[in-house]
Structure 1
Amino acid sequence: MTLLVIGGSGFLGREVARQAGRSVTTHFRAGGPGRRLDVRDRAAVLRLVEELRPDVVVNTAYVQADWVTTAEGAMHVAAAAAATGARLVHVSTDLVFSGRDVTYDETSVPDPVTPYGAAKAAAETAIKGLVADAVVARTSLILGDGDSGHEKFVHALAAGTASGGLYTDTVRCPVHVTDLAAALLELAGSTYAGIAHVAGADALSRHELGMLIARRDGLDEAALPTARQGSGPLDVRLDGTRTQARLRTRLRGAREFLAR
C-alpha cells in the first residue's frame, strides 16, 4: 500500500509518515525534506496525485485561521482522490460540534460555532459528496511525549515564560499521537467508509490535562495558572465506542499515557 500524506510537516503528519515507513511519500506546504504542496491550489493538488498515483491519501493539513486551506484545500484533496481512485482518510476535529449536547457519537450532526469548526464541517460535507468511500476521522487534542503544542505550553507556563492559563471549563478527550496515527493507518488499510471518532478514552479539562503533564514531567503544579474560556465549544466529548470496536489499535486515555 503506497501512502501520500498531505500535511506531512505537521505534528500528526510526521507521525503517520514515521509509522508508515518506506511506503509513504510526505509532502509539505512549506519546509521539511519532502515536496512542497499548497493545498489551496486545486490544479497543483491534482497534478501531484495524478503523478504519484498513491493507493491512499491521508490528509492531515489545516490552518486553523484559514478557511481556504482548511475547507477548500480539503475539497481539492478529495477531488484529486476521486479523480485517481485513491482511498481517502481525512482528519477532522471535535470542534465541528458546539458542545451543547456534550457527548457526540459518529451519527451526530455537526453544529459548529467557531470559524475553524465551520471550515472543518464544510470539508466533511465536500468529502462526503466527492468520495463516497472516504473515512472522515474526527479527533481531539493531540499529545505526545513532550513535543505537542499543549505540552510545550504547559512547560512555558510552569517556567513563567508564557502568559495566560489553563482552562478549567473546557473539556476534551485527548489522544496520543502514536495511537492516532496507528488508528489512521489501520483505517486506511480497511474497507470502512464514513465517520470515525478517534479520540482518547478520558474526558479532561485543559487544566486537568496540564496537571497530568506537570506530574509526569516533574513540574511545579502550583505554578500553573487557571483561566476560563467562557464561551464557544466548552464541553465536547467524542464517543468513539463504535470506532474502537473496529480497531485493533487501542486508543488510550490521557490518564494512562501521561502516567509517570
Structure 2
Amino acid sequence: MIGGFRPDVTINVAYRSGDWATTADGAANVAAAVAASGGRLVHVSSDAVFSGDAPSYDETCLPDPVNPYGAAKAAAETAVRALVPGAAIVRTSLIVGHGASAHEAFVRSLATGSATGVLFTDDVRCPVHVSDLAAALLEIAERGLPGVHHAAGDQALSRYELGLLIARRDGLDEKRLRPGLRAAGGVRGPLEVRLDCSATRRRLHTRLRPASEFLAPGHS
C-alpha cells in the first residue's frame, strides 16, 4: 500500500499488546516500505520501553524494557532507526480523553458497580489527552522533525489518582473506586515511568496539557 500510494508522511500507530508480529515485525515492515518508497516516517512508541528503575526518562535515555510488550516496542524503535535514520520516534504514555479510552471505561464500570477491581496506586504514568497527542504527531510530521520525541502530559499520576480525576469529571461516585497495589498482584511490567518531555516541548508549538487540566469538570 505504501509503495503504491507513496505518501509524503506515514504515521505508524499500530500495535497489539502481546503480539510481537504486529508490534515489532509490523513496525519493521512499515519502515522498510517507507525506506523503499521515500517520504517521512513518524513512529509512535511507548513509555513501556523503560523499566521504571530511573526517576525519570528523557529523550536521550536508551530502552531497558522488562516485559514482552516493552521489548517489542524497543525492537520496533531499533528497526525504525536502522531502516529510516531520519524518522521521528514519538514515545507517549497513557492515552485518555473524550471518554473513549479503555482506562476511562474501566473507571466508569468500577464507579457504577458494573465491574469489580482496583486502581493501582503504584503504577505511575504521565497521561496525555488523545487530541494533544494527535496534534503533536501532526506537527512533528508536517515539520519533518527527526529523532526521538517524548509526548506526554506534564503530570505524573497513579492509575488511582487518574481514576479520581475521571470520576470527578464525569460526576461519578469516586468513593466506589478502590485503591490497590500492582506489585502485590504480580502483574508484569514497569511500575513508575515518568517521561521527561522537556526537550520535545521546547521544539513543539503544541501544548501537552497535564491531566488535572484536561480532566477538569466540563472538559472531555
TM-score range, shorter chain: over 0.9
Q: Distance in 2 between matches of 1:161 and 1:218?
A: 16
Q: Distance in 1 between matches of 2:128 and 2:205?
A: 16
Root-mean-square deviation (Å): 0.8
Shift of 1:161: 1.5
Q: Secondary structure at the match of 2:209?
A: coil
Aligned match of 2:180: 227
Within the alignment, does 1:119 sit opposite 2:72 as a pair? yes
Q: Distance in 2 between matches of 1:107 and 1:84?
A: 29
Q: Distance in 2 between matches of 1:50 and 1:187?
A: 22
Shift of 1:86: 1.7
Aligned match of 1:209: 162
TM superposition score normalised by structure 2: 0.95
Which of 113, 118, 123 is the equivalent residue of 1:165? Answer: 118
Aligned match of 1:109: 62
Aligned match of 1:65: 18
Aligned match of 1:94: 47
Kept after mapping to 1: 8 A contact 2:40/2:144: no
* Structure 1 counterpart of 2:109, one-letter code: A
Deviations 1:120-178 (Å, cap 9, x if unpaired)? 00000000000010000000000012111110100001111122210000110000000
Q: Secondary structure at the match of 1:92?
A: strand
* Structure 2 counterpart of 1:94, one-letter code: D
Aligned match of 2:97: 144
Shift of 1:50: 1.1
Within the alignment, does 1:237 sit opposite 2:198 as a pair? no
Which 5+ residue runs of structure 2 have no aligned equivalent?
none
**Alignment coverage as a number of residue pairs:** 213
Q: Secondary structure at the match of 2:139?
A: helix
Q: Secondary structure at the match of 1:178?
A: helix
Which 5+ residue runs of structure 1 have no aligned equivalent?
1-47
* Structure 2 counterpart of 1:58, one-letter code: I
Runs in 1 of length 4+ with deviation above 4 angstroms? none
Which range is displaced more, 119-128 or 189-198? 189-198
Within the alignment, does 1:257 sit opposite 2:210 as a pair? no
Q: Secondary structure at the match of 1:99?
A: coil
* Structure 1 counterpart of 2:120, one-letter code: Y
TM superposition score normalised by structure 1: 0.81
Q: Secondary structure at the match of 1:192?
A: coil
The percent identity for this pair of structures is: 62
Q: Distance in 2 between matches of 1:88 and 1:103?
A: 27
